[in-house]
């Protein structure tokens, strides 16, 4: 019996069509659902780019490997040689590479040379890339779909790391920063401390206060001299 599994993300849908395993022993004990044991067709819908890639089990396996390897390199900054470009890889080959001077990633599907099909190239965004990674992860985590298809992931070797700058070149900006700070501190030290001059009271204000004291009505008059 034919069955379909779909892994939907906001920017990517992975749709798998295949045949169920009719063996009663392989049914899921909780849901009673029979697993998909044979893949008939796999479709990858990239919604934002409005593109669709499709193929069989080799396409799905190569797509999973290429996308997972590229995502690992994208996050770590270490890009090994693309395994999909090796001569022992079955067709159709799948590869991903960054597009120069953009934030896009070129997903390439290369068919068998004598198949008469043309090579397909799709430029996807980073959001589409990681939605595709998520869809592939969900597929491989689903034990009821193609349990015999595994994803071989290995950590990227440090030999792919770009050569680091020499120690003197890396320390130059730091030393320049310390020198500038020392010069600024010396310049501030040479500036004389400003003298503080006490503020004198305004003579006009003093005169006003004196007149106010002389016109005080509560002051008692001086006694007149007796004749």
Nearest to 117 by CA among 147, 93, 101, 96: 93
| pLDDT band at 129; cut points 50, 70, 90 | very high
Check residues 47 and 163 and name the one with the higher pLDDT.
47
Q: Is the pTM of this model over 0.75?
A: no
- Nearest 10 degrees: CA dihedral of 13, 54, 105, 74? 70
Distance CA 165, CA 170 (A): 6
Sheet with 36-46, strands from edge to edge, namely 2-9, 12-20, 36-46, 51-55
Q: Please determine, for residue 183, whether its predicted confidence score (pLDDT) is greater than 90.
A: no
**Residue extents of the structural domains in the chain:** 2-156
Check residues 129 and 202 and name the one with the higher pLDDT.
129
| pLDDT band at 32; cut points 50, 70, 90 | low
Angle formed by the axes of helices 126-141 and 57-76, nearest 10°: 120
Q: How far, CA to CA in Å, does 188 sit from each of 18, 174, 194?
A: 78, 21, 13
Per-residue pLDDT, 84: 40
| pLDDT band at 1; cut points 50, 70, 90 | confident
Distance CA 166, CA 47 (A): 45
Check residues 18 and 32 and name the one with the higher pLDDT.
18
Min mean pLDDT across 58-67, 198-207, 213-222 is at 213-222
What is the mean pLDDT of the segment spanning 129-154? 87
For residue 20, give the 3-state DSSP assignment: strand
Contact at 8 Å (CB) between 63 and 52? no
Note the pLDDT tens digit of each residue in 49-71. 899 999 999 999 999 999 998 99
Average pLDDT value for the chain: 76
What is the mean pLDDT of the segment spanning 64-83? 78
Check residues 167 and 112 and name the one with the higher pLDDT.
112
Note the pLDDT tens digit of each residue in 34-53. 788 899 999 999 998 899 99
Check residues 160 and 120 and name the one with the higher pLDDT.
120
């Amino acid at each position: 019996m034919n069955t379909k599994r779909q892994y939907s993300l906001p920017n990517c849908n992975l749709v798998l069509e295949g045949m169920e395993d009719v063996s009663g022993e392989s049914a899921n004990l909780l849901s009673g659902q029979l697993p998909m044991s044979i893949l008939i067709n796999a479709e990858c819908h990239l919604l934002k780019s409005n593109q669709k890639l499709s193929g069989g089990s080799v396409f799905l396996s190569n797509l999973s490997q290429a996308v997972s390897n590229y995502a690992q390199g994208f996050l770590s900054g270490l890009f090994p040689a693309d395994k999909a470009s090796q001569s022992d890889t079955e067709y159709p080959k799948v590869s991903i590479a960054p597009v120069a001077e953009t934030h896009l990633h070129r997903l390439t599907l290369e068919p068998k040379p004598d198949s008469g099909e043309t090579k397909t190239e799709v430029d996807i965004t980073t959001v589409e890339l990681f939605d595709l990674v998520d869809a592939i992860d969900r597929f491989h985590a689903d034990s009821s779909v193609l349990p015999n298809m595994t994803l071989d992931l290995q950590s990227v070797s440090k030999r792919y790391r770009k050569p680091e700058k020499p120690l003197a070149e890396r320390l130059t900006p730091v030393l320049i920063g310390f020198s500038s700070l020392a010069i600024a501190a010396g310049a501030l030290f040479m500036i004389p401390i400003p003298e503080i001059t006490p503020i004198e009271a305004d003579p006009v204000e003093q005169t006003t206060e004196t007149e106010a004291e002389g016109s005080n009505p509560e002051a008692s008059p001086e006694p007149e001299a007796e004749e």
